[in-house]
Amino acid sequence: MIWVTWRQHRTESFILLGVLVLSSIFLLVTGLTMANTFQQSGLSNCLANDKDTRALLTICGPLGSAFLNQYGPLFPFAAALLILPILLGAMVGAPLVARECEQHTNLLVWMQSITRTRWLTVKVALVLGTGLLVAGVLLVLLTWWYRPFSQLNGSFNQVAFDFSGPVLIAATVLALALGIFVGTLTRRTVFAIFLTLALILAIRLPVEFGLRPNYEPQITVTWPLDAQGNKTNNVSCNGPQQQTPLQCMQADGYRGNYLSYQPADRFWTFQWIETGLYLAISVLALGATFWLVRRRLV
């Protein structure tokens, strides 16, 4: 069965390998250049010497800005590789069972001497294995590539969070599991591909924008308005001309500034929470797939 699955997905495997090699070359070349600049410009030394706050502000600041200006535009290209796991789910996961049903080849393979469960197990295991491999390569390369940025900005932000830990692996498994499930349910390849894409987005967007900022209660700090009055400049306040903005706001009833945030040391907790969430959904989807293949037949 392993051979059969490999023979069936030979073409996809080669395409995937090609994409992965090209992506790796891009990341390696740009990553090495960045790391070089990071070292050469003195930015690396400057950041390492974090005792001296004055030096941090006066020397590192401009160096960091220059670095970000130079290499920041590359970031969207690297981040675009995060589409790869999603595409894998839609283009490999969704057709896995759907295409067999559509072309009735399931009637051929199910009537060989192996059970349907075994057939599905091998297919799912190989595809998930490939997914893990792809996600692993991306995880290692992207984390390494992002390191200079990480030292400047950290990894606990909307995009970097997605490729800086096990969440990337879990998201890949999720995409594949959803694809396989939807394909088995609909048995129509093209429909399943689009439904899978929609479903992945319908799960991941609310998770990333709705749940992720609240896995743990945000920490809120407040300070009086006048302590750092310049912060009020952002707020429009319509009062009499002779008032300063600060006075205007105080007159309107504002009593303080506040900031809600998630501290950086929660990074790994959040990674594991989200990983667990995605893996749980994946297990449900795969369980349903096995049930469907065993119960609902031709």
Partner 1 sequence: MSNALETTRLSKRYGRLWALQDCTLALPAGRVAALVGPNGAGKTTLLNLSVGLLEPTEGLVQVFGCSPLKQTTETLPRLGFVAQNHPLYMDFTVANLLTLGRKLNPRWDDRLARGRMQKLSIPLDRRAGKLSGGQQAQVALVLALAKRPDLLLLDEPLASLDPLARREFLRTLMDAVAETGLTVLLSSHIIGDLERVCDYLIILSASYVQLADAIASVHTVIERLVGPRQEVDAIASVHTVIETSQTERQTTLLVRINGPLFDPSWEVQEVSLEDIVLAYLGQQATERLSSSPSAQKRMEVVQ
Interacting residues toward partner 1 by CB under 8 A: 1, 3-4, 7-8, 103-105, 107-116, 295, 297-298
Closer to partner 1 by CB, 106 or 262: give it. Answer: 106
What is the sign, positive or negative, of the torsion defined by CA atoms of 165, 171, 172, 177?
Answer: positive
Measured CA to CA, the distance from residue 135 to residue 298 in angstroms comes to 34
What interhelical angle do 116-153 and 61-71 show, nearest 10?
140
The distance of closest approach from Cβ of residue 111 to partner 1 in the complex, given in angstroms and rounded to an integer, is 4
Q: How many CB atoms lie under 10 A from the CB of residue 101?
A: 19
220: which DSSP letter?
E
Closer to partner 1 by CB, 227 or 298: give it. Answer: 298
Centroid of chain to Cα 157: 11
Measured CA to CA, the distance from residue 210 to residue 206 in angstroms comes to 5
Pseudo-torsion of CA 246, 252, 253, 256, nearest 10°?
Answer: -30
Amino acid at 100: E
The distance of closest approach from Cβ of residue 10 to partner 1 in the complex, given in angstroms and rounded to an integer, is 9
Closer to partner 1 by CB, 116 or 188: give it. Answer: 116
Closer to partner 1 by CB, 5 or 30: give it. Answer: 5
Which tokens is 62 given? 């401009």
The distance of closest approach from Cβ of residue 185 to partner 1 in the complex, given in angstroms and rounded to an integer, is 18
Measured CA to CA, the distance from residue 174 to residue 280 in angstroms comes to 9
The distance of closest approach from Cβ of residue 118 to partner 1 in the complex, given in angstroms and rounded to an integer, is 9
Closer to partner 1 by CB, 51 or 295: give it. Answer: 295
The distance of closest approach from Cβ of residue 8 to partner 1 in the complex, given in angstroms and rounded to an integer, is 7
Which tokens is 33 given? 């250049």
The distance of closest approach from Cβ of residue 297 to partner 1 in the complex, given in angstroms and rounded to an integer, is 5
Residue 50 makes CB contacts below 8 A (sequence gap 6+) with: 56
Closer to partner 1 by CB, 39 or 294: give it. Answer: 294
The distance of closest approach from Cβ of residue 101 to partner 1 in the complex, given in angstroms and rounded to an integer, is 11
Closer to partner 1 by CB, 6 or 77: give it. Answer: 6
The distance of closest approach from Cβ of residue 120 to partner 1 in the complex, given in angstroms and rounded to an integer, is 13
Which tokens is 57 given? 């502000």
Q: From residue 120, how far is each of 5, 124, 179, 281, 283 by CA, in Å? A: 10, 6, 14, 19, 15
